Structure 1
């Protein structure tokens, strides 16, 4: 367990760094993909299609092994892993952001225009808060996929959970026990992400008026039962 816990800590570190980078990229590129300017949309589309259409493992190899040949600079292996995960999952997340922005009803945009909101105010106060609620469920799936993709970092000798597990098996530890513990640890991390994202989704829904206080829900349930 001490070795697996050390690997789990590295996995969490990599997942947190990759998630932070992916969320920032997803928001920026998703907004660019919704821009009225064709050039801006084109740049966003090129990024999205390239990183979604190529393997994250190949991107990881390219950043860690090919980049030093071209630039003469060797990245830290954890940083290279976080960068590859963030760029790849950010491309998927940007499509989620773009879709959520497009899902906001046109009447909401028209109401904001009628209130004489500027384009920035419309995006900040009307469109983005409502789109944020729609982004959370698919983002939850992407964050779990990112967590599981951290196991690929072991191929560049990052001492994550998958790497430590293989070392234990190669050193003679019981394979069944090691792999069972790894499954449990990955499941616990994934379920923790789900719980956090569900909490965020409920809070975000209440902020835009889609949720109901608990007392009102209970009262409505009693009335319906009567």
Structure 2
């Protein structure tokens, strides 16, 4: 088997990697906003839950989180008489989403807190409620400031998808390892793997740069 014959399985795995990156980035962004804004809440319960989420998922290994969701959670559910088994794609997407969401939450919090105080004073003078100030003033102005950091997190998330191969999810890393075990052609396989991840990272970086420019123009149009 020469390197041309590797393309089919590797492209199949790359498609799984792309979908995992897309799904986990979307859900991770939702978690980031929910818990980033929650950490700034005046409600002690919401704030406490948000802080706990952020600290737990930033302070533990993604690999451990993935294994816990896939291997430990079903055992816990069995002891409670509940079926908590997750398909590999669900466990992988959830672990990646929670992990990137925890890091993204701090990005959201920092960007919101960086909004000039004069803007908040103006909202207060206009008799905005705290919720209106948050979603109409702070968040729209903070989004462009978040984009460079979110771009870095998205690329990191792409690279982290390789860990899902350890729960037998057929992503790019899993397919590459299957081929390597069969052919023992480590040099070719890992070289192809390196360039494929690099290529996907370049495309993702370019997309995030476009999104960053779009949000910058959107903010300029609102001002």
**If the length of structure 1 is used for normalisation, what is the TM-score?**
0.89
Question: After TM superposition, where is structure 1 displaced by more than 4 Å over at least 4 residues in a row?
Answer: none
Structure 2 partner of 1:161: 172
2:153 counterpart of 1:142: yes
Whole-Å Cα distance in 2 between the matches of residues 208 and 10 of structure 1?
A: 34
Q: Distance in 1 between matches of 2:212 and 2:221?
A: 10
Q: Which runs of 5+ in 1 are unaligned?
A: 212-226
Query: What's the offset of the Cα at 1:118?
Result: 2.5
Is 1:57 matched up with 2:63? yes
Aligned to 1:22: 28
Report if the CA contact (8 A) 1:48-1:94 is conserved.
Answer: yes
Give me the whole-angstrom Cα distance separating, in 2, the residues matched to 1:124 and 1:45: 20
**Paired residue total:** 211
State the 1:39 CA deviation.
2.9
Which deviates the most, 74-83 or 171-180?
Answer: 171-180
Q: Distance in 2 between matches of 1:120 and 1:48?
A: 22
State how far apart, in whole Å, the 2-side matches of 1:85 and 1:96 are: 17
Q: Retained in 2: the 8 A contact 1:34–1:101?
A: no
- Aligned alpha-carbon RMSD (Å): 1.5
1:33 to 39, 55, 74: 39
The answer to whether residue 196 in structure 2 is matched with residue 190 in structure 1 is no
Tell me whether 1:121 sits opposite 2:127 in the alignment: no
Tell me what 2:103 maps to: 92
In 2, Cα distance between equivalents of 1:12 and 1:197: 15
- Aligned counterparts of 2:18 and 2:162: Cα–Cα separation in 1: 11
Deviation of the 1:38 alpha carbon: 2.9
Q: Distance in 1 between matches of 2:140 and 2:89?
A: 34
Cα distance in 1 between the residues matched to 2:203 and 2:40: 32
After TM superposition, give the deviation of residue 210 of structure 1 in Å: 8.2
Task: Report the equivalent of 2:3.
Answer: none
Question: How far did residue 115 of structure 1 move?
Answer: 2.1
Distance in structure 2 (CA, Å) of the matches to 1:115 and 1:205: 25
Within 5 Å, which residues of 2 pair with 1:98-117?
98-117=109-128
Do 1:26 and 1:93's aligned partners in 2 also have CA atoms closer than 8 Å? yes
Query: Would you say the 8 A contact 1:56–1:88 is kept in 2?
Result: yes
